[in-house]
Homo-oligomer: A and B are copies of this chain.
Amino acid sequence: MEQITKFELTQQFHDRFQQALSARDKSFIAATLEEVNPADITALLYEFNSEESKFVLDLLPVPVRAQIINDLDTDTRKKFLTIYTPTELTEIINQLDSDDVADILNELPIQVSEEIIGNLEPDLKLQVIDLLRYDEHVAGGLMAKELIRVRANWTVGECLDEIRKQAETVTKFYTAWVVDDKDKLLGQVSLQKLIVSDPKTLVENICDENIVRVGTYVEDREVVEIMKKYDLESIPVVNVQGQLVGRITIDDVVDVISEQVEEERQLMSGITEDVEENDDLWKNVRARLPWLLIGIFGGMLSARFMGFFQQELTKITAIAFFVPLIQATGGNVGIQSSGLVVQSLASPGYLEEGLWQRLIKMFYISFLNAFLLSLIVLGSTYLFFNNNRLSVVVSIALFCVVMFSSFVGTITPILINRLGFNPALASGPFITTASDLLGLTTYFLTVHVLL
């Protein structure tokens, strides 16, 4: 048993397995994988090509095969499933929950998915057709149709009978949802409560009516916030008539959170496509180019701008020495400010501080930082460059740059958020590019006026 937690893909095992694969050694492969958890087999398959993976999967029982295919990430699966015939796919897909089926069908070419839908088991077919109507980023697109539904006028005994009946198709449930005879959601009864109650008790007497629900149209981000806030392991989804149409479980929420994290990380790194390190070359190049081009454009603007101050620069070359200092500080201050705003936008839940409160606080913080940094720069430029006037000018410019950049860093994510985009966009190259231009302008204007 203990080996389950310890299954680790070593290079040796990988090589031995590859060898067996090349030799199409069915008995070795089947024997090796018999006791292994499907999630570990999924991990293993990422190492082999599609044909090899299919060869391995075909040696496994259909339910295990289905679970593994379900566990693959979207991109890999999309590519992988092209080598399956619709008949093979139907057999696999019949094993899955409705929400997973809908996800997979959405990845297939329309003719293939139509053919598969036609051959699904009748119950699953109806459920899947219903689910396919929803966008994947709303509650309707996240929910599964499999759930335990009981009537308020049933007894606990009748509920337990119903659960026994449904136990084959519905897995992982902790709650029975209570509906009236028009399917309107009234509340919930936990499995636990059903077990400890007298079988003759009426459900309506032990039903918890004070429950949180979401409409089919609610955005996935909001579903995540609600489930986190109320600490729910599952949430019922209702249509506009208040009828129970599905449920979302916390493992779906964990997946949504992971996607959000990836999206934010990419925005903050200036990557414009959903790309991974091991995606192909062109996709990687394409995902990086846009922000690099914007950066280049900003750099060309800076160069033109500095051209206006050629006279000053020729007179005192040392002015140029401090361009990197000004730029780096502007960029750092901008990123820090926007990072903190993005953070408070990402964990809402209580009344937001007003824009003014935020700006005033930001003002004090940056004033203190600006003051300290300017003093340090004043001291060290004086020590190292022996030019009083230049030292004063650089530290005054730095002071202004810190103030401006932190203003821009605070306000940009708020604006981007109000426009309906992900505020993390403001926390990447966007803010450094803006701070660069702003910093340079401030510096040269200060030089022009004071030197």
**A75 close to chain B: CB less than 8 A:** no
Residues of B contacting A427 in the complex (Cβ-Cβ under 8 angstroms) = 268-269
**A131 close to chain B: CB less than 8 A:** no
Chain A contact residue count (CB 8 A cutoff): 136
**A253 close to chain B: CB less than 8 A:** yes
B-contacting residues, A20-40, CB 8 Å: 35, 37, 39
Contact B268 A268 (CB under 8 A): yes
Closest B residue, CB atoms, query A172: B233
Binary per-residue interface labels of chain A (359-377) against chain B in the complex, 1 for a CB within 8 Å, 0 otherwise: 0010011001100110011
Contact B321 A306 (CB under 8 A): yes
Q: Which of A77-85, A86-94, A343-351 makes up part of the contact surface?
A: A343-351
Contact A212 B5 (CB under 8 A): yes
Contact A340 B269 (CB under 8 A): yes
Contact A37 B212 (CB under 8 A): yes
Residues of B contacting A258 in the complex (Cβ-Cβ under 8 angstroms) = 228, 257, 347
**A209 close to chain B: CB less than 8 A:** yes
**A244 close to chain B: CB less than 8 A:** no
DSSP majority for the A interface? helix
A364: contacting residue among B164, B196, B281, CB under 8 A: B281
Contact A335 B276 (CB under 8 A): no
Residues of B contacting A187 in the complex (Cβ-Cβ under 8 angstroms) = 1
Task: Please judge, given known A-B contacts A313-B317, A340-B277, A350-B9, whether A292 and B332 are in contact too, CB under 8 Å.
Answer: yes
Q: Which of A50-58, A107-115, A120-128, A322-330 makes up part of the contact surface?
A: A322-330
Residues of B contacting A214 in the complex (Cβ-Cβ under 8 angstroms) = 5
Q: In angstroms, how far is the closest chain B Cβ from the Cβ of A165?
A: 9
**A140 close to chain B: CB less than 8 A:** no
Contact B35 A210 (CB under 8 A): yes
* Distance in angstroms between the alpha carbons of A384 and B428 in the assembled complex: 29
Contact A310 B299 (CB under 8 A): no
Q: In angstroms, how far is the closest chain B Cβ from the Cβ of A307?
A: 6
Contact A270 B332 (CB under 8 A): yes
**A333 close to chain B: CB less than 8 A:** yes
**A191 close to chain B: CB less than 8 A:** yes
Closest B residue, CB atoms, query A159: B195
* Distance in angstroms between the alpha carbons of A333 and B429 in the assembled complex: 10
Contact B163 A281 (CB under 8 A): no
Residues of B contacting A44 in the complex (Cβ-Cβ under 8 angstroms) = 350
Contact B191 A1 (CB under 8 A): no
Contact A269 B338 (CB under 8 A): yes
A-B residue pairs, 7 tightest by C-beta: A269-B339, A299-B325, A320-B320, A302-B324, A303-B321, A46-B350, A277-B344
